[in-house]
Amino acid sequence: MSQSASPLATSYLRFLQLVKAIEGLPTLPSLDANESALLDALAVQWFADSPLTVMQAMGLSDLGSPATMHRRIARLRKMGMIAIDEDVNDTRIKRLVLTPVAVAHFDQLGKSLQTAATTA
């Protein structure tokens, strides 16, 4: 490791190393970079208690075309990372919510961040 790296850079780089190690664990589904970006976007909204609808997620054009987003959503559902929660007042509205599997994934990432911060 470079001696010129700041403590914050060192912490972040250590975090990235730990994330790579977590990604290889057999206990959590393997996500590619695009699936991970979509899951992150869904998680941020879910955490803010404002989960995205399927249509809103398909409109995330910086992450892919609507057809591509639909396939990624389907893959995350198949992996058990997200579920669809229908609106009780309007069944046409389907919100994407995290499952316990996804929460466990973010828990592992949080532990890695905590480890990286304390070991830097």
What pLDDT, on a 0 to 100 scale, did the predictor assign at position 27?
A: 65
pLDDT of residue 3 exceeding 70, the answer is: no
What pLDDT, on a 0 to 100 scale, did the predictor assign at position 102?
A: 93
What pLDDT, on a 0 to 100 scale, did the predictor assign at position 29?
A: 74
What is the four-CA torsion angle of 95, 101, 106, 107, rounded to 10 degrees? Answer: 130
Give which of 72, 66, 86, 85 is closest to 29, Cα–Cα.
72
Q: Cβ of 7: how many Cβ atoms within 10 Å? A: 9
pLDDT digits (tens, 9 = 90+) for 23-69: 666 666 788 889 999 999 999 999 999 999 999 999 999 999 999 99
- Name the more confident of 22 and 45: 45
Phi, psi of 35 (to 5 degrees): -65, -40
The overall average pLDDT reported for the chain is 86
Output the pTM of the full model: 0.80
What pLDDT, on a 0 to 100 scale, did the predictor assign at position 18?
A: 76
Q: Which domains does the chain have, with CATH numbers?
A: 7-119 (1.10.10.10)
Mean pLDDT, residues 83-96: 93
Helix then strand then coil, in percent of the chain rounded to 5, is: 60, 10, 30
What pLDDT, on a 0 to 100 scale, did the predictor assign at position 1?
A: 46
